Amino acid sequence: MRAVWAAVGNMEDPLSSMRNDVWKVPEAPEGWVRVKVAAVSLNFHDIFTLKGMGMFELEFPLILGNEAAGTLEDGTEVVIYPVMGNPDFKGDITHDPDRHVLGEKTQGSLADYVIVPKENIVKKPKNMTFETASVLGIAWLTAYRMLFVRSGLKKGQKMLVQGSTGGVATALIQLGHAAGMTVWSTGRTEEKRGLAMHLGAHRTFLPGEELPEKVAAVFDMSGEQTFKHSMECVGTGGTIVSCGLHSGDMFAQVDLMKLFTQGVNIHGTYVGNREDFEGLIQFVSENEMQPFVHGVLPLEKVGEGLKMILERSAKGKVVIRM
């Protein structure tokens, strides 16, 4: 079968580690199923893999790809829930210390076939394309959990998205708009702010700009570069939800006086559980949403897609059609 994998980890030149070649078709052990992949969405996680970075020690060669949609051997059209964990763990899988996503401890989805546990299979709605379904597993699932599980927002309340073009940011803008929130976002350029408005934001601001009023929730994906501003923007009793540190530094300054005197809540989140995933798929399907996709590329051009992810030039998701 065709597959795209990381040969080794290379911090200096990650794309040089990518291989697009032939791989043996995997056999599904008991309790697992084999999926014929139709579409795969790329993530910055793929770049981390090419760099050799991960929450766990990676074993190379390692097929890339954390999310996908495709068909089972009986023809059933499915979406892959990408989070796996210790089968003996009780409780929310996002709290399992052994949790991992597809393509970390198992071979990833950027191939003609991928094997996953049966419980990681969700039926694809008929009104959803494979390309749309393929983008929901990581960035969109993270955004859904941030908005509907962690933020406590109610319809009509104001929310600020720190960013306007990344996968999680575009998902938050689209989901927030569909849920009836008043969506504000930040963007460095007029083009990026324009995209946010196109996706459903009601107002946009420059990064670090003072807002005309406080918001009920701030969604922060960058970390150190934006967290001070997030604290300034959130109102009394409001919530900051963090899901990343794309600015690079693991540590951020926090206004502790405001934190406790104004009752600010700070939540972290990492993807979502299966219940969240099923809720996301239902929400997107019922609202006939079209997740914003920067482009759909054939497998032969996967290197171009990964380069866009690495250089952060993609606006929204990049999908590979198998």
Same domain, 7 and 128: yes
Q: How many domains does the chain have?
A: 2
Evaluate if residue 55 carries a pLDDT over 90.
no
Same domain, 110 and 8: yes
pLDDT per position as a tens digit, 104-141: 999 999 999 999 999 999 999 999 999 999 999 999 99
Tell me the whole-structure pTM to 2 decimals.
0.94
Same domain, 161 and 211: yes
How far apart are alpha carbons 143 and 141 in whole angstroms? Answer: 5
Domain housing 236: 140-268
Closest by CA position to 159, among listed 227, 221, 235, 223: 235
Please, are residues 98 and 73 in contact by the beta-carbon 8 Å criterion?
no
CATH code at position 277? 3.90.180.10
* Among 268, 293, 310, residue at a domain's last position: 268
**Size of the chain, expressed as the number of residues it contains:** 322
Same domain, 125 and 73: yes
pLDDT per position as a tens digit, 230-257: 999 999 999 999 997 666 667 778 888 8
Amino acid at the residue 267: H
pLDDT classification of 215: cutoffs 50, 70, 90: very high
Place of tokens 């930040």: 186
Same domain, 290 and 219: no
What tokens were used for 311?
Answer: 């250089």
Q: For the chain, first and last CA: distance in Å?
A: 11
Closest by CA position to 78, among listed 272, 276, 277: 277
Same domain, 280 and 214: no
Note if the bond before 97 is cis, omega within 30 degrees. no
Dump strand ranges (E) for 243-316: 265-268, 293-298
CATH code at position 203? 3.40.50.720
Same domain, 133 and 144: no
How far apart are alpha carbons 175 and 173 in whole angstroms? Answer: 6
Same domain, 231 and 132: no
Please, are residues 204 and 181 in contact by the beta-carbon 8 Å criterion?
no
